[in-house]
């Protein structure tokens, strides 16, 4: 099958802790583990269609996120915003590590903040409305199709512009540790 662009744009904001049947907190599993698993499962198909692009929708919320390895599932405490911000930081880490692993392969990987968009997630999670869905899709479409970013990889974008992500997101040791832990979690879920 033809697949030269993969846009990962699934996301939830859970006001209360909900555990999945795989044993993971819902925000963590949907926003991070599922993105990583889907990308891994489609990577061979993407490689067959190079040049190709992988676009991961994160959020500006990653700026306030931290990776609490002892609380990835809210084991110690659950805070909805902290869980969401952690998952969105994980999206940035995943993108940067994936870009490094794919360097020189003909596949780029970038992530983005879509803006504060009037989605169900925003209304139910934060009680506010935002910009149009079309505006929210603009940066994803740009990264998926624009010639000027065809060779750009491992970057974070806001309003179609390359922008620095949080200082934490450049911590290579943390990034690689998260990759390894996430891989273990995915394998465990798949074996269950």
Active site residues: 84
Q: In what order do the strands lie in the sheet with 156-158?
A: 5-8, 52-57, 107-113, 156-158, 161-162
E-strand stretches of the chain: 5-8, 52-57, 107-113, 156-158, 161-162
CB 95 within 8 A of CB 109: yes
- Say how many residues make up the chain: 192
HEC states along 41-83?
HHHHHHHCCCCEEEEEECCHHHHHCCCCCCCCCCCCCCCHHHH
> Residue 66: CB partners within 8 Å, gap ≥ 6?
82, 85, 86, 89, 168
Cβ-based neighbours of 97, under 8 Å, separated by 6 or more: 175, 176, 178, 179
């Amino acid at each position: 099958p033809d697949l030269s662009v993969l846009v990962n744009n699934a996301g939830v904001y859970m006001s209360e802790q909900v555990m999945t049947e795989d044993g993971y907190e819902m925000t963590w599993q949907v926003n991070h583990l599922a993105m990583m698993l889907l990308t891994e499962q489609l990577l061979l198909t993407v490689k067959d269609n190079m040049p190709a692009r992988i676009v991961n929708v994160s959020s500006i919320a990653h700026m306030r996120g931290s990776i609490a390895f002892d609380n990835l599932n809210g084991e110690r405490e659950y805070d909805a915003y902290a869980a969401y911000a952690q998952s969105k930081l994980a999206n940035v880490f995943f993108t940067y590590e994936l870009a490094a692993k794919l360097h020189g392969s003909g596949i780029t990987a970038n992530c983005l903040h879509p803006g504060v968009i009037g989605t169900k997630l925003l209304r139910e999670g934060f009680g506010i409305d935002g910009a149009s869905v079309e505006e929210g899709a603009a940066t994803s479409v740009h990264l998926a199709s624009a010639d000027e970013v065809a060779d750009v990889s491992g970057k974070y974008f806001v309003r179609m512009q390359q922008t620095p992500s949080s200082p934490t997101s450049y911590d290579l040791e943390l990034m690689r540790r998260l990759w390894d832990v996430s891989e273990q979690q995915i394998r465990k879920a798949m074996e269950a």
